[in-house]
A and B are shown apart, each in its own frame.
Chain A
Amino acid sequence: MVGSANYMSPEASRGYQYGTSTDIWSLGCILLELGTCGISIKNSFSNLKNLILMDPMYVRNVTNDLNMGVKMNYIVENCLKIDPSSRINAKQILSILEMSDLQIERLCSETNQLLLSKTMITNHALLVDHHHHQQLQNDLNRIKSCSSLASRDACYPLLVRHDSIAMAHYLIFSQDASNVIQNVNEFPFAHLYDKFTKLIHIDYQPIDQGDFHIIDERVAAPSTAYLFSSELDELEEMVNWSNFESESHSNPTSTTTPTSLMHYDDDSYVTFKSNSEMMDHKLEQLQKIHRRHQRTLFLTMPQCANTVSVLTAMIEIIKSTIHVTTTDMCALRERAMKCLASWIHNGPLLYGDNLIVSKLLRFTLRCQLMYNHPSSPHDDRMKLASKNLRTSLMNKLRSIGERRTLGLAEESNQLITPRSRLHDVAKKRQREGFVGDRASLTNVVIRRRMQQSQDELDENEIDSSTGSSDQPVLNYSEVQIAEHLTMIDYQLFNSIEPLEWSRVNMNELTEEARYRNSPNLLNNIKHFDNVARWVTTCIVREKDYESRQIVIVKFLRILDVLFNICRNFNATKAVLAGLHSSNLQILKNTWLGVKKTHANQYESFERIGDILSDDQGTHRMFSVTLSDDDDSQEYDKNPCVPFVGTYLKLYKTAEQEEKSFYDEIVEHDSREVLNMRKFQKMADVIREVNIHQERDKYKFDKIVNLYEELRRLDQIQVITSGQEIDEEDDLLLFDDHLLYMTSISLECKE
């Protein structure tokens, strides 16, 4: 252990790798302690990490209450970030101390954006749909065709009903955008369209020379996106203001026009705010202004939605220019890609928004395939840009994965006794409003039923097998074992990255290089083999018929749960492979006994074996029908772990079966054409995997001991004959020869 537990960073206390940022966390703890004037971390914030995990705004709320000053609040808040990479560093702290409060407030606005969107990105973000476009276009055309100013004014309500994003989006991407703008110049709200024009041009200007001051110069790109959203917001505000203006005109006491206020810089605005001679109703108005103004800085929910729209817009830019090779367009596309990459790197969008993540995954993959293909007409800069884009997405996803694991581990520290457990879970779920969720309720019912039957059986079995009861297999119920195997499989499967599929079977590579190329995929396979070997070893280790039969029946039950309830086809295949092992089949008498005494169980084992006996049948269990328009399709989200081997086979078959190019003869001229079918097939496999990886998480209760034990399977050495066997150890893996020798010695003696 390193350091005092209460001041330790999450990564250090979990035993993960840590660097200098771990001290920053501790600094944050101390500062918080100082700020609270001695209320010790131990007592009040004993579970700081969990509190922050549960509520990303937690530290902000605390610091706001403490009122330690803008600087200190900012520093403390940014020291106490769960993710080490987003924590502030020492150098930044020093520069913060140099800054004015206002500058920090500006910085906050961006941080705030990150935090809020974490919890609040909604599908609303993607409302920029075709239907909306159509409507907007119609409305704009109507305004365009108005002959008099008065009739145009009358059209105004038509416009305000549109989302400002949709408007900007339309104006940016529609070909006659400039036309529309020119035509509406006399329009009473012409300044609004000035803004639109700027928005359109911002994309073509170098970022640092734009009209807009960039708040954070660390990375230009997210700021552009930020600018997009803040500008759009301003637009929205102006629309509101315009209404407000007309109201205030009727009010003779009003001395400030809101529009002029908009042009105040922050300092004068603050002075303005502090004017205490304001009349009450004016103050109220001002507070309104303040709130509105703040909204531009402290982006709230609709603004977060905007950022995602901007992202969508970026994708659209790249997509729409993807086949064009003129220099202008290339530069634009490259910029958009860079923006997207750093946006992903710094942005908040990936927290739990599966829709946008899946969109990005597909998009980046396509980009990379396209630009990195040998026949691609695009130059190296595009290759690099698309590669970087992919890398930053993958890194981001990985860091989020890490975060999830942190969260998962924190949640599951409580031990639950098996008997009361299911009842509690069922109750809790009902309380939490899972009543409508039939699938999970059925699961609970089934599980409860199985648990009951298990309880009855336990009494019989444990009595007769006391000699081997320290094996985890017999200590925990089959439901628990199946669930924990599933949790591990789920995690392993979800860690596989798309590129690994193409790298996994390169023959000429050494083992080490292969692991470097596709670590997660190979870990999956390794785990699979270890589970199978473990199943066989567990059975072969038992010295007499009865206990062997008990262990076999146990695994048959686990198989049943894995297949029918957990829908974990990977582990089902592994346990099946373990049971089918020829070294086990030698034990004919044992199997005969199982068949006789547990006919039902054996029957179900044979049935599952038949279903999963070939790749076709296996794939049918979890195959996904892909549609051409995958954005519109909703896929089944129920948790499921597919068998990795199926996708390996599909990918390899697609890769090996067909040529990359074929000859096409056009008017006596033969030329090589890229075989898109092959690449599409390969991409489809990865798409299908992605769909599985986006499935919902399993909601199982975790028993740390069992989980850790099962995880240990991948670390222990395989025992060869001649080596000493530690009879006390629950987890042993025998090598093939030892398995064969042991099982032969078992049944042939008798």
Chain B
Amino acid sequence: MDCDVLYKVVVIGDSGVGKSNLITRFTQGKFSKDSKPTIGVEFGAKTIEHEGITIKGQIWDTAGQERFRAISAAYYRGANGALIVYDITNQETFNNLNKWFKEIENQGENGCLNVLVGNKCDLDHLRQVQTEDGRTFAEKHNVSFMETSAQDNTNVDLAFTSLLKEIYKNQKKGKKTGGNTGGDSSAEKGKEINLHEPVAQPTEDDKKCGC
């Protein structure tokens, strides 16, 4: 393996906000017109260098499966980070953010770090959600925030790499992240994922109990 640590990052948000485009842009999955197409599910993955070690981000996309409500648990299992995406030209996708945050709180792993992303910022003339609103929302939920554009490649790399670095920082310090609100505070030590073990391991005692 050519990386030191592997983190699983999920990208969530309403359909149509451009999740897949963000991922393709980041992982640079450009097509080459000559190669023979093969079917098969491939993870978007990208390796970055940080403080002398290689971090591999495995980016999970829900493409096409958004309608399977029951399956979402599988996406969140073992996720180290989440990109929660809305579309700045569509107020509705911003309004639904609460739903997504609730879902990641309920289903996500305890140490999961979140980033709020307003996509399609190249379409400023169609903007329905002001940058300020996005930032306020992010502060309220104590997550970082940025606006991106998969179209002209604004902030796309930054969004992913800063998240990956942040995860690394947290895991290294082994300290509870501030990214997640609610739940108990039994700080589970962030552990590096050994590549020879299955990524998604069910954790026994990570679920919160509301009483």
- Residues of A near any B CB (own CB < 8 A): 504-505, 507, 522, 525, 528-529, 532-533, 573-574, 577-578, 580-582, 585-586, 588, 606, 609-610, 613-616, 618-619, 623, 626, 645-646, 648-654, 656-659, 662, 673, 675-678, 680-681, 684-685, 688, 740, 744, 747-748
Closest to B206 in A: A585
Contact A648 B65 (CB under 8 A): yes
Q: Complex Cα distance A92/B60, Å?
A: 61
Q: Pick the residue among B15, B39, B67, B106 that contacts A684 (CB under 8 A).
A: B39
Of B40-48, B123-131, B139-147, B159-167, the one with at least 4 CB within 8 A of chain A: B40-48
Q: Pick the residue among A577, A580, A675 that contacts B33 (CB under 8 A).
A: A675
CB proximity of B166 to chain A, nearest CB, Å: 24
Contact B37 A578 (CB under 8 A): no
Closest to B29 in A: A657
A-B contact number at CB 8 A = 135
A-side contacts of B65, CB under 8 Å: 645, 648-649
Contact A649 B41 (CB under 8 A): yes
CB proximity of A619 to chain B, nearest CB, Å: 5
Q: List 25 A-B contacts (CB under 8 A).
A: A504-B67, A505-B15, A505-B66, A505-B67, A507-B15, A528-B68, A529-B69, A574-B70, A577-B74, A580-B73, A588-B205, A588-B207, A613-B74, A614-B41, A614-B74, A645-B64, A645-B65, A649-B61, A649-B65, A650-B41, A653-B63, A656-B21, A676-B33, A677-B35, A747-B209
B-side contacts of A645, CB under 8 Å: 64-65, 68, 71
B-side contacts of A573, CB under 8 Å: 71
Q: Pick the residue among A613, A616, A656, A658 that contacts B200 (CB under 8 A).
A: A613
B210 at the interface (CB under 8 A from A): yes
Q: Complex Cα distance A580/B74, Å?
A: 8
B95 at the interface (CB under 8 A from A): no
Q: A577-B71, A659-B31 are in contact. Are A606 and B207 (CB under 8 A)?
A: no
Q: Complex Cα distance A197/B124, Å?
A: 69
CB proximity of B109 to chain A, nearest CB, Å: 11
B52 at the interface (CB under 8 A from A): no
Closest 4 CB pairs of A and B: A652-B64, A532-B70, A648-B64, A507-B16
B-side contacts of A616, CB under 8 Å: 40-43
A-side contacts of B29, CB under 8 Å: 657
Q: Pick the residue among B42, B60, B64 that contacts A505 (CB under 8 A).
A: B64
CB proximity of B141 to chain A, nearest CB, Å: 19
A-side contacts of B207, CB under 8 Å: 582, 585-586, 588
B24 at the interface (CB under 8 A from A): yes
- Residues of B near any A CB (own CB < 8 A): 15-16, 20-21, 24, 29, 31, 33, 35, 37, 39-43, 60-61, 63-71, 73-74, 77, 106-107, 198-200, 202, 204-205, 207, 209-211
Q: Pick the residue among B24, B33, B68, B202 that contacts A606 (CB under 8 A).
A: B202
Closest to B35 in A: A677
Contact A744 B210 (CB under 8 A): yes
Q: Complex Cα distance A740/B106, Å?
A: 10
Q: Complex Cα distance A503/B106, Å?
A: 31
Main secondary structure of the interface of B (DSSP, over half): loop
Closest to B70 in A: A532
Q: Complex Cα distance A733/B68, Å?
A: 16
A-side contacts of B33, CB under 8 Å: 662, 673, 675-677
Contact A580 B77 (CB under 8 A): yes
Among A610, A615, A681, chain B packs the most CB atoms within 10 A around the CB of A615
Closest to A605 in B: B202
Closest to A749 in B: B211
Contact A529 B70 (CB under 8 A): yes
CB proximity of A169 to chain B, nearest CB, Å: 32
Q: Complex Cα distance A662/B207, Å?
A: 48
Q: Pick the residue among B20, B202, B205, B210 that contacts A609 (CB under 8 A).
A: B202
Q: Complex Cα distance A311/B8, Å?
A: 52
Contact A657 B20 (CB under 8 A): yes
Contact A653 B20 (CB under 8 A): yes
Q: Pick the residue among A525, A623, A678 that contacts B39 (CB under 8 A).
A: A623
Q: A505-B64, A588-B205 are in contact. Are A613 and B37 (CB under 8 A)?
A: no
Q: Complex Cα distance A433/B34, Å?
A: 51
Contact B70 A651 (CB under 8 A): no
CB proximity of B196 to chain A, nearest CB, Å: 13
Q: Complex Cα distance A578/B69, Å?
A: 11
Closest to A747 in B: B209
B-side contacts of A619, CB under 8 Å: 40-41
CB proximity of B51 to chain A, nearest CB, Å: 29
New contact pairs (9) apart from A582-B107, A649-B41, CB-CB < 8 Å: A505-B15, A573-B71, A577-B70, A577-B71, A610-B198, A613-B200, A646-B41, A650-B64, A678-B31
A-side contacts of B210, CB under 8 Å: 744, 748
B-side contacts of A623, CB under 8 Å: 39-40
Contact B64 A613 (CB under 8 A): no
Q: Complex Cα distance A588/B209, Å?
A: 10
A-side contacts of B24, CB under 8 Å: 656-657
B-side contacts of A522, CB under 8 Å: 67
Q: Complex Cα distance A529/B73, Å?
A: 12
Q: Pick the residue among B61, B64, B67, B202 that contacts A651 (CB under 8 A).
A: B64
Among B16, B37, B77, chain A packs the most CB atoms within 10 A around the CB of B37
